[in-house]
A and B are shown apart, each in its own frame.
Chain A
Amino acid sequence: MLESETEFYTSHHDEIVAGHIGEFVALEGAKVIGYFKNLEEAGIAMKGRVLGTFALKRCRNSEDEAVMIYEWERTLSA
């Protein structure tokens, strides 16, 4: 699901986010549908489309794209 949009976003990242950092971008296949300042604006604009047929991503610089989670658990066993 949304593989083509993810692939398009990843391979064209720099040009897609240029001038739009912090905004949301809606993608359908290999096409940018639009940029939105917030989720509310995106929801209004995308109303009537079918969820799952488009991707909605926040535009970030490359170094901020990945989320990091480091939760360590120590297990003491006999």
Chain B
Amino acid sequence: MKTFTFNAAPGARRILLPVSIRQSFSFFHNFGYECSYSKATALLDTGASGSCISGLYARRNKFISLCDCEVLGVGGKYVSKVYYADIMLPGDILIRDIEVTDFFDNGKFDVIIGMDIITTGDFALSNYNDQMTVSFRCPPVNPPIDFGKLALGL
């Protein structure tokens, strides 16, 4: 099992994580691509069904799209490019061959970690003393995290 625990900046209202991302090695190395990792800032977003990469970040890092898909966002529908990527989370947690769509740049984060990745593990968010702490383990473990049982010492 691999894990990471990350303390957000004081007063943070977003979960932003340092990650590394590259084009999917298992596919693109067959076409002569080196597929080296680039650093990125990722938003952990339970409101996203799939993971995403900013269009600007994809262009800068020469990601190659292999198809399109439809994305439903706050502003409505749009057609997005689809990339295949490997994402390295903190704690050396490697998520391979994930599909990522693109989103409009906002200057705040490069990647959105959606539920397709979050559901590969267990995820807890704590906010004691206004310090947001995120903890993640992969793969999931039984029993599930249950704060009610923890409060009763069970």
Contacts and interface: CB of A to CB of B under 8 A. Distances in A.
B70 A47 contact: no
A57 B67 contact: yes
A46 B30 CA distance: 8
Contacts of A40: 26-27, 97
Contacts of B72: 66-69
Contacts of A39: 24, 26-27, 84, 97
Nearest to A55: B67
Interface string B25-57: 011111100000000000101011110100000
B138 to A, nearest CB: 19
Given A38-B97, A66-B71, A51 B49 contact: no
A71 B65 contact: no
Interface of B is mostly: strand
Contact of A6 (B30, B67, B112): B67
Interface residues of A, number: 28
Interface residues on B, range: 35 or more
A34 B31 CA distance: 18
A69 B77 CA distance: 10
Interface string A4-40: 0110010000000000000000000000000000111
A68 B65 CA distance: 19
Contacts of A57: 66-67, 69, 82
Interface string A52-76: 1011111000000111111110000
- Across the A-B interface, the 5 shortest Cβ-Cβ residue pairs: A43-B30, A40-B26, A67-B50, A43-B27, A70-B47
Interface of B: 24, 26-31, 43, 45, 47-50, 52, 64-74, 77, 80, 82, 84, 97, 99, 101, 103, 112, 114
Given A66-B69, A67-B70, 9 more contacts: A2-B68, A5-B67, A38-B97, A43-B29, A55-B66, A67-B69, A69-B48, A69-B72, A70-B74
Interface of A: 1-2, 5-6, 9, 38-40, 42-44, 46-47, 51-52, 54-58, 65-72
15 contacts: A2-B68, A9-B67, A39-B27, A40-B97, A46-B30, A51-B66, A56-B27, A66-B72, A67-B49, A67-B71, A67-B114, A68-B72, A69-B72, A70-B47, A71-B74
